[in-house]
Every structure is written in structure tokens, then in C-alpha cells.
Structure 1
Amino acid sequence: MGYFWEYGQIILNLMRLWLLPVLDITLVLLLIYAMLVLIGERRNLWMVRGFIVLILAATLSERIGLGLLAFVLDKLVIGAAVAMAFILQGELRRLLEQMGRGQFAQLLAINPQETPPQTDNVIDELVDAIKELSQNRIGALIILETDRPIDERDFSVPGVRLNADMSKELLQTIFQTTTLLHDGAVLIRGSRLLAAGVILPISERVASRQLGTRHRAAMGITERVDHCICLVVSEETGSISLAERGTLNRPLTSSKLRELLHARLSKRVDRDAVTPQLWSLGKRLPGQALAFFQRLLRFPSSASREKR
């Protein structure tokens, strides 16, 4: 009997030492993951990352015995939590509603029946809109992310946030000369039209006098950011151009534009609409965990700071 008692005590001690901390960390990571799923705006994601860094700093300070620093950081964590409750009240409301309804599958995005939007549909809508804008000689400037999100600090002015489904009707409406947003650029990420009225940096390269401000702006943003392409419709001639890495490919037909867009966008994943599915994370757990922490605590590189 004494043997079983000692054996049980050993198991309980192992649970306290290993299982409970692992469970604690897992639950915290799941909560953070659920918040990141609900939050789609890049500025808010950076704010959540900063809040997590603040919590980690407060915990580390307390563990290593820096009492005064830990006290100050704890107060900052409380203040930051209150501020985030106001800023992210919509996301927090959705989180609490889904938890109250028991919709944990939707909360953690583990429904395998959900399928990502088809890139072909996005390209078709985009090409149809550009074709009609070109025929009507309505100027347009469209930025497409090809790999990862563009830092808003690369723009001269970030523009007006829309975060709407991309459609040819919406694009044609924005670039009508009677609208307030027609002068700037439109930013598209995956199948979402994120912003309009974006002001881009102008290229300093010596270019042909036939190129207007839109073309120079397309060259300027693609010189500064190599993971995007920029589409231009000339207001004077209706010609279609594609800027990439500071170089203009022009003039293009609608069929040639469709071909180029398929080559550059068909393999990318729609980041805003698709979140990692938990049923498949087991096969990719090590790589996903490393990428998660790298993206969670990622800061602007020194190259990007020098560029600005």
C-alpha cells in the first residue's frame, strides 16, 4: 500500500512540475491565437505583439528579482490591457460571444469545410475592371501584395481603410473622377480591398516625359517594396502598365495582364481569409511554432529603417 502511495505522489509531483506548466502555456497560446484570428488589421496586430512583449518582460523581471522594474511593468500591463479593451472592443465582443455560444470550432478556425477564395476569381474581377477603366480612359493605380504585407510606413499617406471584398464594381466606383478617393492608389491583399486613396512615394529615376504621376508612383513603391506589383491605367491614353521592382512593363493587353497576374499571384495564399487549420497543425507543428514566434516578435529590419 505504501508503494502505491509513493508512486502516486511521484506522479502528482511530475504533473505539477511538467504537465501543469505545459497546459498553462498551451491555453495562453490558444487564447492568443484566437485573438490573432479575430484581429485583421495590421496596426492592431502590432499592438497585440507589443502587449505580449510587455507581459513577457514583466514576468522575466519578476523571475530574476528586479522588483521595482517588475512593479512598473505590471502597472503598464494593466494600463495597456484597459486601453486595448477600448480599442479592440469589437474583436473582444466577438470573442466573448463565440465563447458564450460554445462556437470553439469557429473561434479557432478549425472548420475544414471552409475553403479559401479562389485566386482565379480575384484575377478575373481585377482584369475585367482594368479593361473597362482602360476603355473609358479612367486613370487607376492598384497595388497588389505578392508575398507578405506591406508596411504602411512605406506609403507617403496610408489612405482610407476599407477592408472590403474586392470586386470590379467597387474598383470602377473608386476611380470615378467624381469620388474623393480617385486620385490615390488602391491596396489589395488577397481577395480584400484594404484601403483607397493611398499616396505613394514618387520614383526619383529619370523617366520618359510621357509617364505621368501615376506611373512614377508605381515605379516608386515597387522600388521601395520588392514584394508587391503595381498596376496603372493611363488617364490620357488608356494604356495598361505593370510595375515591378521599379520597372514598367507597358503597354499591356488585358490577356497579357491576366497571364502576368496568374504567374505572380496563383501560388500565393490568401493571408486574410485563411488561418491555419488545427486539424493539420500536427504535421507542421515544429515549423508553425517557430514561424509563429518569429512573426509574433518580429521588428522592422535595419534595412527597412535605413530605407526610410
Structure 2
Amino acid sequence: MPFDFDWSQLFTWRALINLLDIAIVAFVINQLMKIVKGTRAVQLLKGIGVILLIKFASSFFELRTTEYIVDYVIQWSALALIIIFQPELRRGLEHLGRGSLFPRKRKINPSEQLVQDISRATQYMSRRRIGALMSIEIDTSLEEYIGTGISLDADVSGELLINIFVPNTPLHDGAVILKDFKIASAASYLPLSESPAIPKKLGTRHRAAIGLSEVSDAITVVVSEETGEISVARQGNLISPMTKEELETYLRKELVSEEEDEKNFFQKLAEGFRKGGADK
């Protein structure tokens, strides 16, 4: 008797719903794998695998005491995961709050003059090894950090930026925060990153720059007082060293050009999870 299969069953509404369900689950699993890749969660997953293996073995060989202990561990694992990965979860939710489900286009008000002022001031201070820390507000509000410094609300100029960071002056110790193409504040305090991945040779300025980039989408330019090297911190990453041309190209791309800067849901979650994982 020949095999008789009703191909129309493949295209029923229920079948399509099942396919969509499978596709969504596969997509979510794939994204979660990308999120945990390279983080402490990889080691956690290995530990969970070992626990499940012990659970299976204890059940198969009827090791009652071992099975009881493993069941007890599994019962409390959810609470333990929340406590252990609190930084990762917090970072992920912060990134989600700043983003949207789908990418969107945005355009920051073009300002070639702002790029030139920052570049000119940075090059002057780099040659003379004057330490500097300048953060540019993008979408995430920096009012919390502006309030820790001295309010200026001054027009941006290379000369003013240089004068602020001249050693032994009242405003040189701390960060300058730029908002709406003005110098909003000077001598502001930024959150220090606790990431163990940061090289020991980097000082407080670099840790502050990375720390702010972990909790906001700000762009922070750093000039090292020890070496004169120029660095840029963004989204938890530090680009260093940078030449004059590289700095100007980067700032033009981020501040002048229209680009698809907003990440989608899973990109935001992954970034937040990775930054949180680097905190410990």
C-alpha cells in the first residue's frame, strides 16, 4: 500500500503557529547564547550542567541522599542566580530602558565646530601631558553627574577646555560634561568602573571614563597625564591610543553623521549583561 500523506496538513493555521513558536524559541535561545558568551554565565552553565548530571545519576542509581541534596540546591538556585547576577541584570535592564525593540535612525545636531574644539584642546593637552576627562551627553541624561560638579553653561571652545584642565586650577580635577553643545559643568565626578579587565596601568581618569560608558551612552575623551595618550570610552569599551585623525574621524562619525546607533532589544540586553559581568 503506497504511503498516503495529506500535504495540506503542513499548511494549516495550527501548523503555521507551531512553526512560528519554534522559530521564536530558537531565536531567543540563539540570542541568549550570544549574551552569555564570554561572560561569567558560561561557567555558571557548566555548573548547572554538572548539577543536572548528578541529579540524573542519583535518580538512576537511586542515591536518595544525594538526590535530596541536589533537589534542595535546585530549589534555591533561582534566588541564588538573581543575587549572583544582580549587576548583569541591572546593566541589561538599563540598556533596555535606553533602547527600543527595533533599531531606529537618529541624528544628533551636526557640529563640526564641536569636533574641532575638542580635537584642538585634546592635541594641546596631549603634547604637554595635561590630564583631561571630557564626556559628551548623547541620549542618556547626565544630569546626575553634572550636579556633582561646578555648573558653567558656557559655549564650547578649545581654549576654554584647555584652561579648565590646567594643573593646580580649581576646576582641573574632575570631568567636563558637554550637553547640547555647551560645557554644562566642570570638576564633575563620574562613576568608577570596577571591571577587572581594565589594565592596571590605567588610572582613575580611565576608570571613570569606562565607568560612565557602562551606565550611559556618553562619549568620553581621556588624555593621560602620564603618557599623553588619547583614548575614547564608549559602551564599556576603551579605544586607545588614538591619533588626531582617528579622534576626529570617530567624533564626526558619532556626532555629525546620521547612523543607526540604537541597538535592538537583544543587542541592548547582551551589552548590559557583558558590562555587568565585567564589574566583578
Kindly indicate whether residue 207 of structure 2 is the aligned counterpart of residue 216 of structure 1: yes
1:162 matched residue in structure 2: 152
Structure with the greater relative contact order (CA < 8 A, sep ≥ 6): 1 or 2?
2
1:77 matched residue in structure 2: none
TM-superposed CA distance for 1:245, in Å, is 1.1
Return 5+ residue gaps in structure 2 as ranges: 1-107, 259-271
Give aligned-pair identity as a percent.
39
1:192 matched residue in structure 2: 182
RMSD: 2.2
Q: Residue type of the partner of 1:202?
A: L
TM-superposed CA distance for 1:240, in Å, is 0.2
The answer to whether the 8 A contact 1:146-1:229 is kept is yes
Alignment partners' CA distance in 1, 2:117 and 2:133: 15
Matches within 5 A, 1:85-104: none
Alignment partners' CA distance in 2, 1:205 and 1:214: 14
The answer to whether the 8 A contact 2:153-2:184 is kept is yes
1:180 matched residue in structure 2: 170
Alignment partners' CA distance in 2, 1:165 and 1:172: 13
TM-superposed CA distance for 1:178, in Å, is 2.1
TM-superposed CA distance for 1:250, in Å, is 0.3
Q: Residue type of the partner of 1:222?
A: S
Q: Deviations over 1:219-252 (max 9, x none)?
A: 0011011x21111000000000000011100000
Count of aligned positions: 152
Alignment partners' CA distance in 2, 1:184 and 1:193: 13
Note closer, same or farther for the CA distance 1:191–1:251 as it changes in structure 2 (3 Å cut).
same
Q: Deviations over 1:184-240 (max 9, x none)?
A: 000001320010000111101012111000000000011011x21111000000000
TM-superposed CA distance for 1:177, in Å, is 0.6
Note closer, same or farther for the CA distance 1:255–1:201 as it changes in structure 2 (3 Å cut).
same
Note closer, same or farther for the CA distance 1:248–1:117 as it changes in structure 2 (3 Å cut).
closer
The answer to whether the 8 A contact 2:110-2:257 is kept is no
Q: Residue type of the partner of 1:132?
A: Y
Matches within 5 A, 1:104-183: 119-152=111-144, 155=145, 158-183=148-173
Note closer, same or farther for the CA distance 1:230–1:125 as it changes in structure 2 (3 Å cut).
same
1:240 matched residue in structure 2: 230
Note closer, same or farther for the CA distance 1:157–1:203 as it changes in structure 2 (3 Å cut).
farther
Alignment partners' CA distance in 2, 1:163 and 1:119: 17
Q: Deviations over 1:252-296 (max 9, x none)?
A: 00110000000100047xxxxxxxxxxxxxxxxxxxxxxxxxxxx
The answer to whether the 8 A contact 1:234-1:240 is kept is yes
Note closer, same or farther for the CA distance 1:156–1:189 as it changes in structure 2 (3 Å cut).
closer
Matches within 5 A, 1:31-70: none
1:262 matched residue in structure 2: 252
2:221 matched residue in structure 1: 231
Q: Residue type of the partner of 2:205?
A: R
Alignment partners' CA distance in 2, 1:235 and 1:158: 23
Return 5+ residue gaps in structure 1 as ranges: 1-115, 269-302
SS of 2:154's partner is strand
Q: How high is the TM-score relative to the length of structure 2? A: 0.51
The answer to whether the 8 A contact 1:156-1:201 is kept is no
Alignment partners' CA distance in 1, 2:251 and 2:147: 26
TM-superposed CA distance for 1:117, in Å, is 8.2
Alignment partners' CA distance in 2, 1:254 and 1:129: 11
Q: Residue type of the partner of 1:164?
A: A
Alignment partners' CA distance in 2, 1:174 and 1:229: 19
Alignment partners' CA distance in 2, 1:243 and 1:148: 15
Q: Residue type of the partner of 2:209?
A: A
Alignment partners' CA distance in 1, 2:153 and 2:136: 14
Q: Deviations over 1:138-185 (max 9, x none)?
A: 000000012353241xx3962000000000110000000121111100
